[in-house]
Structure 1
């Protein structure tokens, strides 16, 4: 049975626009706050589980001992507070007793984590609001690039017209229409900056031989001038429409084409 092998040569082709255009639209500070919140949420889940297990142990001990109902009621309220992610209040707990002293520390740790989560969420909202203004301004700046506008026009002329209207009518408040349109803009940028979109600028194309010992990354730089040659190709639907038009002319030579009825000369 033959074994698979990697070819010794690869074809290298870069995208039409720099990837750092996308990177410049990243919500870096907001993302850091989100990661912090998620980490605290994870710790809260662990803390909740630790408190629940401790309460289960204390409940069994109370029922087998003095059966102090006020403590059972307090621990029941603590469990409900844990489920609702609320700050816990437990003044009736005898923290000087063994077991309950640990419960007091665990409850204090829970409340501290809740406060940290609230602070990080507040910081995240502030960062998101600040970065949203910054990134929207950056997006508009990118849209003033003639090369980018040409690429958008070649991909979707109607969308390029919408970009013109978007730039000519800046609004202070970000409406739902703005949100949808900006999300669509990002998808186009993702295609142009992170993919080999052939319906736009792309290249250069070259061949390479992998070197396992090379540590430094390969860097491509644009040559000057940026555009040395332009080529225009007729798409299938345009060729088919042209063929239909030719076939409709009296005296035309017979043509055969996909999806086109046979033409008969007059």
Structure 2
């Protein structure tokens, strides 16, 4: 299949495009961009300098990939980038900013879905299968684990680490690190295990072990981090959950509001 580049699109001669890439009307592809096979760039989308888009990615209208970081100390001469993994979908008006650090990248993993108007700030690292619902907002240096879902309109504070298979409620404000497998809502409130996500992805033994670990850490009096140190898991998933209570840049959710 040959390239399909609309005559109104602006594609820099220094951009590297696979032979079957589709570029829609009025899209802009800047210099030093790499777009792999099977990608579709819709009308009016912008892919800025140093962006790297892997195979099978869709970037919808009015999305801007690789914009300058909203960091007052950033120098535009810094050669940093955005990297989007295979088969991810970037919907309308999503913004993803490149890293603030020389040679580093803001990364979106494989098979992610970033819904309309979501924002991924500089130096964020998204794992595989992550979903950002409409208007989700990630500040700089946020890490999100595999298969986590961030609800519409949520706001994630800079340097927060969100584990894997986490569910963040719509309009939630997340200011502390979130251990894997949890649900969080409102302003920094753990509401239990993400049971729907767990049942879709894990075996019964792992879910049972996570229930026990959760109760030991969150449903007893004391510091959850210290309680985690004295809790033993029977499965790898349980060990992963307990490991989330180690070193933290932002601190952790300290108490659960609801039993699970």
The structure with more helix, counted as a fraction of residues: 1
Report 1 or 2 for greater relative contact order, CA contacts < 8 Å, sequence distance ≥ 6.
Answer: 1
Q: Quickly name the TM-score band, shorter chain normalised.
A: under 0.3
**Larger-gyration structure (1/2):** 1
Q: State the TM-score, normalizing by the size of structure 2.
A: 0.21
Q: State the TM-score, normalizing by the size of structure 1.
A: 0.21
